[in-house]
Amino acid sequence: MIDPVAFYIFGKEVRWYGILIAAAVLLGIYLAVREAKRLGYDPDMFIDFCLWVIPISIVGARIYYVVFQWDYYRAHPSEIIAIWHGGIAIYGAVLAGILVGIIFAKVRKVDFWGLADIVAPSLILGQAIGRWGNFFNGEAYGYLVSSPKWQWFPAAVYIDGQWHMATFFYESMWDLAVFIFLMWYRKRKRYSGDVFLGYLALYGIGRFIVEGLRTDSLMWGPLRVSQVLSLILIAVAVLIRVCWMRTGKQQFSMEDAALQANANDEDDVGDI
C-alpha cells in the first residue's frame, strides 16, 4: 500500500485523499462553468451556485456517513470533523445538492433541471477521481480474492496482508464510462433534466452492483444503505421520465430552449 500521507506542511499531514477530493472539485467546477457558458448562463450566477452547493454537499456527505457509523463516532466525537481521514458518502452529497439546487433555482428564478443537467457530468467525473482516494486510504474494498490468478491489481488490491476485490476501481471505471456517456448525451437530450436523470439511473445501477461486493458498506439493519438508496433513485428517475413522456411535458422550458439555441456546436471530443 502507498502511504496515505502525500507530504507535510508545518508538521501537518496532507493526505492523498484530500488532494484527490480537492482536484475532483476544481475540475468539476471548471467543466460545469464551461458548460454553463456554452449554454449562455451568467457565469457569475453559476459560480455563486457552486459556492453554495459544493460546501453544503460535502457537509451532507459527511453527515450521511457519520449517521450510519454513529456507534463509532459517538465514542470518538473528535473524529466527526476529520474528513481528511476519509468517510464521506456520495449519496449524502447528492441529496444535499438536490436540496440546495431546488432552493437556489427558486430564489434565482432559473430552471432547476437545467442546473442539474449542467452539474451531472462534473459530479460523476468527480466521483471517478474521488474513488482513488479510497485506494490511498486502504478502504472501499471487496471480498477476499483467494485464487492466485486474480491476485493482481486492478482486479484485486493488496490490503493488510490479503488480496481483496478492488471495488473502488470497479466503481471508478463505471463512473468514468457514465461521464463519457453523459457528455455525449447532453447535446441529444429530449427533455430538460434528462442528463441528471440519466446520472441518477446509471450511477445507481453501477453502485448497486459494486456495493454488493464490498465488505465495508454502511448498513441499516441487514440492508446495505447504498443499495437501497440506489434502487430508490433508479425508480424515481425512471418514473419521472415516464411521466414526462405520458403527460406530454414540454421538452425544454422557454429558458432552456433559448440557452440551447445559443449553444455552440463544439465537437464532443473537444468538450470532454
Predicted confidence band of residue 139 (pLDDT cuts 50, 70, 90)? confident
pLDDT > 70: percent of the chain: 90
pLDDT, position 149: 95
pLDDT greater at residue 170 or residue 245: 170
Task: Write the pLDDT tens digit of every residue in 8-35.
Answer: 998 888 888 889 989 999 999 999 999 9
Predicted confidence band of residue 269 (pLDDT cuts 50, 70, 90)? very low
Radius of gyration of the chain (CA): 20
**Is-contact 157 141, C-beta < 8 A?**
yes
pLDDT of residue 3 exceeding 80: yes
How much is the mean pLDDT over the chain? 88
Task: Write the pLDDT tens digit of every residue in 148-200.
Answer: 999 999 999 998 889 999 999 999 999 999 999 999 999 899 999 999 999 99
Per-residue CA distances from 29 to 49, 111, 196 (Å): 10, 19, 16
Q: What is the three-state SS of the chain? A: CCCCEEEEECCEEEEHHHHHHHHHHHHHHHHHHHHHHHHCCCHHHHHHHHHHHHHHHHHHHHHHHHHCCHHHHHHCHHHCCCHHHCCCCHHHHHHHHHHHHHHHHHHHCCCHHHHHHHHHHHHHHHHHHHHHHHHHHCCCCECECCCHHHCCCCCEEEECCEEEECHHHHHHHHHHHHHHHHHHHCCCCCCCCHHHHHHHHHHHHHHHHHHCCECCCCEECCEEHHHHHHHHHHHHHHHHHHHHHHHCCCCCCHHHHHHHHHCCCCCHHHHC
38 is in an annotated binding site: no
pLDDT, position 266: 47
23 vs 94: CA distance, rounded Å: 18
pLDDT of residue 241 exceeding 70: yes
Task: Write the pLDDT tens digit of every residue in 69-96.
Answer: 888 898 888 888 887 666 788 999 999 9
C-alpha cell at 51: 459556492
Q: The whole model's pTM is what?
A: 0.87
pLDDT, position 126: 94
